[in-house]
């Protein structure tokens, strides 16, 4: 079996586990910093990189060892046969993450590893490979937990939330991977209509559209680091891509709405960039005036928290009015709401079907699912 390690945003573990099960991963296990899984296919990471909407990075573990001092660490790095993973004409980067008393600064750990890699080449050839932190040919990672170290390689070389559709805006957008997690946790079938009614830049609606049409933007972006690796199997990768393209279908109707016409314009532009052009509808109104066009569907709401935008009492009043409005106009719908304030969610007096803890950036949030009868 081949092992893979996936990093993620805090609170998306459950959603990523469900996604990995669907992708056919085996022996899925949570760890404090991510999720491990296994597969009989050593190139399973092609599938993971193409199809995971929730993971941030996918790592192939290369070496694991224990150390008791900084010198030990350097010696272990020097011993690795780096020629198997890097050549002098390739650039590299290192991301470090340490929870250890041997190294207490990520940056210093990364520097020490860089020295070990460069010296490995320099002792024999008097040349060293160059570091490129932005677009490296090989993106290595070092994780240190107490005395235990893992050297791995990041297969994509960039964070997978960078789908490429989002325009810069000063809204408070959800990270694409977090939006995909909320959709997965809402247990949506991808067929019922989807309503992003406080859409801001449209991340939830766009992720829903991609999920519903089984499209994966990163495949279209074609930018993964592993595409340049010498062991890369073009034929095998193309087979996977062809299957992905074959399975693509028309998305269900996605409804976007926001009280701000400016935000709806941003959402429209982002949809175009994501090539989400069919079966989408845009409205500008307060959610309290919004009536759905269908009898059922999924609504996901990401109202202002009052921490980054909006003001506390106004938001509490909005939740109180929202309860009445949903009760009268959204019977037959599932409504999922993310908020950093438990007391706001409690203003929605429906009994939650499920509640999850999830982080939006550094903000600890609750995500509640309500079925409106
Ligand atoms: C936290 S932002 C949503 C961010 C969005 N999920 C994204 O990824 O860009 C909250 C949004 O709610 C909108 N909003 C606030 N009050 C509203 C109301 N009464 N009706 C509809 N939208 C409202 C704001 O204009 C803002 O765009």
Is 366 within 8 Å of 355 (Cβ atoms)?
A: yes
150-177 confidence digits (pLDDT tens): 999 999 999 999 999 987 666 789 999 9
- Find residue 10's DSSP bridge partners: none
d(CA 218, ligand 1 centre) in Å: 27
d(CA 171, ligand 1 centre) in Å: 9
Question: Is residue 157 within 6 Å of ligand 1 at its C-beta?
Answer: no
Q: Which residue has the tokens 């990768």?
A: 237
pLDDT of 249 > 70? The answer is yes
Mean pLDDT of 337-344: 95
70-87 confidence digits (pLDDT tens): 999 999 999 999 999 999
Task: Indicate the pTM of the whole model.
Answer: 0.94
d(CA 139, CA 56): 14
**φ, ψ (nearest 5 deg) of residue 153:** -125, 135
The DSSP string of 104-126 is: --HHHHHHHHHHHHHHHHHHHHS
Across the chain, the runs of DSSP E, i.e. the strands, are 2-7, 26-31, 34-39, 57-66, 92-99, 138-145, 148-154, 194-196, 254-258, 280-284, 297-301, 333-339, 352-360, 363-371
Q: How many CA within 13 A on the CB side of residue 96?
A: 17
191-205 confidence digits (pLDDT tens): 999 999 999 999 999
d(CA 73, CA 86): 19
Q: Is 97 helix (H, G, I), strand (E, B) or coil?
A: strand
Q: Is 317 helix (H, G, I), strand (E, B) or coil?
A: helix
For the chain, what is the mean pLDDT? 94
pLDDT given at position 169 = 67
Residue 310: band (very low, low, confident or very high) from pLDDT cuts 50, 70, 90: low
- CA proximity to 15, closest of 133, 144, 181: 181
**Residue of 9, 259, 321, 358 with the most ligand 1 atoms within 8 Å of its CB, for mutation:** 259
* Percentage of the chain lying above the pLDDT 90 cut: 91
Helices 203-213/261-273 angle, 10° precision: 30
Question: Is residue 171 within 6 Å of ligand 1 at its C-beta?
Answer: yes
pLDDT given at position 344 = 94
Is 305 within 8 Å of 315 (Cβ atoms)?
A: yes
d(CA 287, ligand 1 centre) in Å: 9
The DSSP string of 233-245 is: -HHHHHHHHHHHH
**Residue of 282, 304, 326, 367 with the most ligand 1 atoms within 8 Å of its CB, for mutation:** 304
DSSP class of residue 203 equals H
CA separation, residue 144 to residues 67, 105, 167 (Å):
10, 11, 36
pLDDT given at position 167 = 78
d(CA 303, CA 340): 10
342: number of Cβ within 10 Å: 11
Q: What ligand 1 atom has the least distance to the C-alpha of 263?
A: 27
**φ, ψ (nearest 5 deg) of residue 196:** -110, 90
């Amino acid at each position: 079996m081949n092992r893979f390690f996936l990093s993620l945003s805090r609170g998306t573990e459950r959603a990523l586990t469900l996604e990995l099960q669907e992708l056919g991963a085996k022996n899925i296990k949570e760890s404090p910093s991510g999720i491990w899984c296994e597969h009989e296919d050593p190139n399973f990471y092609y599938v993971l990189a193409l199809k995971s909407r929730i993971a941030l990075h996918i790592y192939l573990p290369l070496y694991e060892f224990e150390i008791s001092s900084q010198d030990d660490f350097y010696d272990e790095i020097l011993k690795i046969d780096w020629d198997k993973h890097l050549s002098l004409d390739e650039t590299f980067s290192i991301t470090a993450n340490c929870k250890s008393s041997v190294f207490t600064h990520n940056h210093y750990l990364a520097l020490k590893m860089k020295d070990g890699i460069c010296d490995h080449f320099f002792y024999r050839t008097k040349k060293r490979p160059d570091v490129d932190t932005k677009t490296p040919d090989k993106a290595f990672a070092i994780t240190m937990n107490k005395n235990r170290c893992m050297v791995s390689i990041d297969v994509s070389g960039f964070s997978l939330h960078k789908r490429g559709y989002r325009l810069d805006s000063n809204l408070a957008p959800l990270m694409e991977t977090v939006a995909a997690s909320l959709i997965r946790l809402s247990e949506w079938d991808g067929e019922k209509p989807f309503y992003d009614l406080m859409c801001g830049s449209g991340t939830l609606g766009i992720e829903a559209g991609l999920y519903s049409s089984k499209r994966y933007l990163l495949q279209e972006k074609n930018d993964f680091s592993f595409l340049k690796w010498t062991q890369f199997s073009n034929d095998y990768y193309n087979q996977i891509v062809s299957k992905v393209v074959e399975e693509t279908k028309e998305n269900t109707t996605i409804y976007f709405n926001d009280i701000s016409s400016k935000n709806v314009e941003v959402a429209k532009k982002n949809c175009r960039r994501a090539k989400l052009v069919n079966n989408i509808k845009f409205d500008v109104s307060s959610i309290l005036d919004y009536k759905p066009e269908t009898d059922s569907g999924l609504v996901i709401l990401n109202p202002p928290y009052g921490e980054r935008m909006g003001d506390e009492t106004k938001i509490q009043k909005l939740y109180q009015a929202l309860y009445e409005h949903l009760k009268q106009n959204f019977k037959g719908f599932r409504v999922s709401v993310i908020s950093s304030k438990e007391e706001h969610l409690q203003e929605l007096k429906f009994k939650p079907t499920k509640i999850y803890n999830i982080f939006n950036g550094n903000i600890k949030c609750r995500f509640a699912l309500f079925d409106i009868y």
